């Protein structure tokens, strides 16, 4: 019996599956940079200038990049940068920083601060095609501009990994600020690529990311999807990106089961409003104003017209029922459901790094 370990929150859980039920295990690709190659890329950042590093998401590759930068500062007797991070990841970032490092919460700080250097790991995004530092900033600070970006979406289905016109809206938003970015591409093998510059220019790394992450596959009837890392499944909305990345590889009337701990809840104002009866699906088509997470609610309702969605999480079943999602209390129960409903000979495709793979 194969033993497959899949990420679920801060831990990995085992999927016990018989060999005859395992269709294919799908992993992300791309060769990781060694320490020397990482150092060469970081040399393009002028560390003699004052800087404040703003950590936008948590991952091992971001941790490795920051520690390598700190080491370079020490070697060249340059000042160690101050660290800023959003509250949910503040303690995690603090845990790996050297003793004596300065770290504080990043709130609604003034983006006109030219000392700010944003650090983020690129992923795929159903609305913009790619989740970059620029798209993260427009989502956090540009609510009015997000309405325009939402209106420019490519239809009502997610389009991860595609070049979409609305990415220009995100670039234009960040163009008005004199800030810097360290854009990272990574997968389960480690840090694959890195770009340093203005957030509107580091987006260019998305091309190599898309090429290394894309995998051509046949369509599958049943798929088990892990996001691959805690940062991509700490809330429900965030984990949906992994479902978008795999959705075109799922057969009509098929089943996709997403592993997402969701320790921080829903993570989307629009989805929360829908659960509470304050948001209608009709309103999603042409809204008068943008509400955070509208696109994910729209995409979810549209793909559910093609296949069923299941979820292994800690979310209350009340929430999942409202979203027309099958709720499972554990991965074993999900596997038991597959064999009971679809037959004991049903084969299951397993995706172990859903946030950083693109199935075509």
CATH number of the structural domain 35-210: 3.40.50.11440
29: pLDDT confidence band, cut at 50, 70 and 90? confident
Structural domain boundaries of the chain? 3-28+215-359, 35-210
On whether the 3-28+215-359 domain is CATH 3.90.226.30, my answer is: yes
| Count of beta carbons in the 10 Å neighbourhood of residue 281 | 12
pLDDT band at 208 (very low <50, low <70, confident <90, very high): confident
Q: Which of 147, 164, 133, 182 is nearest to 284 (CA)?
A: 147
Give percent of the chain with pLDDT exceeding 70. 99
pTM attached to this predicted model = 0.94
The pLDDT of residue 97: 92
């Amino acid at each position: 019996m194969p033993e497959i370990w899949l990420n679920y929150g801060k831990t990995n859980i085992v999927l016990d599956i018989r060999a005859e039920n395992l269709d294919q295990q799908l992993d992300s690709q791309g060769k990781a940079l060694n320490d020397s190659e990482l150092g060469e890329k970081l040399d393009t950042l002028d560390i003699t200038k004052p800087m404040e590093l703003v950590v936008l998401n948590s991952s091992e590759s971001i941790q490795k990049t920051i520690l390598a930068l700190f080491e370079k500062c020490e070697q060249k007797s340059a000042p160690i940068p101050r660290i800023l991070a959003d509250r949910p990841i503040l303690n995690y970032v603090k845990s790996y920083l050297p003793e004596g490092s300065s770290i504080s919460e990043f709130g609604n700080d003034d983006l006109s601060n030219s000392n700010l250097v944003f650090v983020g790991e690129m992923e795929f995004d159903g609305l913009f095609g790619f989740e970059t530092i620029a798209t993260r900033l427009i989502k956090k600070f540009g609510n009015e501009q997000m309405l325009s970006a939402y209106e420019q979406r490519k239809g009502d289905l997610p389009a991860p990994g595609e070049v979409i016109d609305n990415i220009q809206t995100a670039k234009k938003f960040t163009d008005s600020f004199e800030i810097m970015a360290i854009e990272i591409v990574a997968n389960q093998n480690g840090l694959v690529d890195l770009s340093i510059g203005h957030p509107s220019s580091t987006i260019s790394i998305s091309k190599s990311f898309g090429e290394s992450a894309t995998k051509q596959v046949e369509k599958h009837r049943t798929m088990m999807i892990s996001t691959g890392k805690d940062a991509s499944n700490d809330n429900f909305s965030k984990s949906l990106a992994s479902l978008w990345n795999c959705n075109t590889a799922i057969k009509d009337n098929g089943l996709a089961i997403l592993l997402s701990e969701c320790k921080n809840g829903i993570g989307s104002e629009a989805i929360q409003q829908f659960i509470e009866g304050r948001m209608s699906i009709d309103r999603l088509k042409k809204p008068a104003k943008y509400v955070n997470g509208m696109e994910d609610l729209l995409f979810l309702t549209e793909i559910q017209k093609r296949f069923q969605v299941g979820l292994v999480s800690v979310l209350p079943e009340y929430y999942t029922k409202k979203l027309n999602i099958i709720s499972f209390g554990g991965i074993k129960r999900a596997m038991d459901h597959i064999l009971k409903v679809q037959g004991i000979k049903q084969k299951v495709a397993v995706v172990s790094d859903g946030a950083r793979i693109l199935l075509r």
